[in-house]
Every structure is written in structure tokens, then in C-alpha cells.
Amino acid sequence: MVEDKFLSYNAMDKLMRKAGALRVSDDAKEALAVALERKALDIAQVAKKMAEHAGRRTVTKKDIELALNQ
């Protein structure tokens, strides 16, 4: 697993199997983790701005929800 990786291969494997995949290669787990982390960072950055805009230092569920609708 490369550095700075927060999402485990194990979690990616479970998600893929929940979606019906029988076998999943390691590079597929890696690619899914990278894509999800990019998406998460995008959402998190917007949510952080939303919290700041509301005068808070704590990011809350409402900030995430607003970020998801951007």
C-alpha cells in the first residue's frame, strides 16, 4: 500500500464483494482506494469552507451534506 493511504485494501475488497464481485485484483483495490480518497478530499475541502463560512472550527454533518450538493 502506498503512503498516505487511509482506505485499506480490506475495506475496498469488502465493498467490491458487496457489489457482487467474485474476485478483485490488488491493483483494482488500489485504484478504487485512490479514487475514493480523491473524492473524499474534494468533499472535505468544500465542507471545511462551509464550516468556516458559518463561523465554526468544527466540521459538522450539515457541512458535509452541503458539500455533497455542490
| Residue 36 Cβ vs its own copies, minimum distance, rounded to whole Å | 5
**Residues in contact with its own copies, shown as a per-residue x/- string from 19 to 38 under the rule CB under 8 A:** xxxxxxx-xx-xxx--xxx-
> Which residues are CB-contacts of 12 (< 8 A; sequence separation ≥ 6)?
24, 28, 29, 30, 32, 33
- Under rule CB under 8 A, residue 2 binds its own copies: no
Confirm or reject binding of residue 9 to its own copies (CB under 8 A).
no
Q: Which of 1, 41, 53, 54 binds its own copies (CB under 8 A)?
A: 41
CA dist., res. 17 & res. 36, Å (int): 16
- Tally the residues of the chain: 70
